[in-house]
Amino acid sequence: MGALLRATWVIALKDVAIEWRTKTAFASGLVFAVLVLAVLFFSRDPTAVAAQDVAPGALWVTFTFAAMLGLNRAFLLEREMHALDGILLTPAPRSAVFFGKFAANLVFVGVIEAVSLPLFVLFYDVPIWLRFGELVLVIAMATVAFVAVGTLLSAMAVRTRYAELLLPLLLLPFLVPPLVGGVQLTARLLEGRPLSDLSGWLKLIGAFDVAFVTLSALLFQVVLDE
């Protein structure tokens, strides 16, 4: 167990460090976030559609596209350097590779989300401070869902010549439960509904997290096997 955690930590740290040095994926993710938030804000009739109505959708589109950008980059770098072969030669337990990459991807997406959130408040003037804790919980739960599946799928997609096409195509269906749940929960929280009203959606995303983090970790070994 100790070896697993240590190996996970090292792999995660390595990925985050590499990304931090170049910062290109962060930069494109942020630019994208601003773009999406702005476009969705300005593309409505302001007299007919309140910013608050568009807000939850805008926020989640930003999050998921930023996540996809990050997921693609993470493995592309790996492939170019054949670094994965190196990692596999070490005695690190295989599941550490998944959890390390999963953690690094979470950090990446988490940073984008953390920076997008103030922008979101700025543009859409939504009172997130009233439900901040609950909102963060919801965002975290849904993010875990698509980053877990995305980490697995990007490991597969990167072995083909069409990684940029395959990752979104394969990932999209898995986004439906956490995304629909995320948007619904965000919208209702901002409307002022109590958390107890939303237990159905929370249980759905929670169960999704448990099922797919486990499944992705297990199936990752299959993907790595030569």
Partner 1 sequence: MTPQDRAARLARIGIALTVVALLGLGGVYLRAFAFTPVEVNQGAAQKIFYVHVPAAWSALMSISITGLLSILYLWLKDRRIDLAAAASAEVGVAFGAVMLTTGPIWGKPIWGTWWTWDARLTSTLFLFLLFVGYLVLRGVLTDPGLRGRFSAVIGIMGLVLVPFIHLTVYLFRTLHPAPIILKPSAPSLPREMLVTLMLSLGVFTVLYLGFVMQRYALGLLHEFREEELARDAG
The binding site for partner 1 (CB under 8 A) comprises: 149, 152, 156, 159-162, 166, 169-170, 172-174, 176-177, 180-181, 184, 200-201, 204, 207-208, 211-212, 215, 219, 222-223, 225
Nearest approach in angstroms of CB 166 to partner 1 is: 6
Contact 113, 66 (CB under 8 A): yes
Query: 72: closest CA among 21, 178, 182, 147?
Result: 147
Query: 4: closest CA among 86, 75, 87, 91?
Result: 91
Token pair, residue 80, equals 């170019």
**In this complex, which beta carbon is closest to partner 1, that of residue 40 or of residue 111?**
40
Count CB-CB contacts under 10 A for residue 27. 10
Nearest approach in angstroms of CB 160 to partner 1 is: 5
**In this complex, which beta carbon is closest to partner 1, that of residue 27 or of residue 169?**
169
Nearest approach in angstroms of CB 219 to partner 1 is: 5
**In this complex, which beta carbon is closest to partner 1, that of residue 116 or of residue 186?**
186
Contact 29, 115 (CB under 8 A): no
Nearest approach in angstroms of CB 226 to partner 1 is: 9
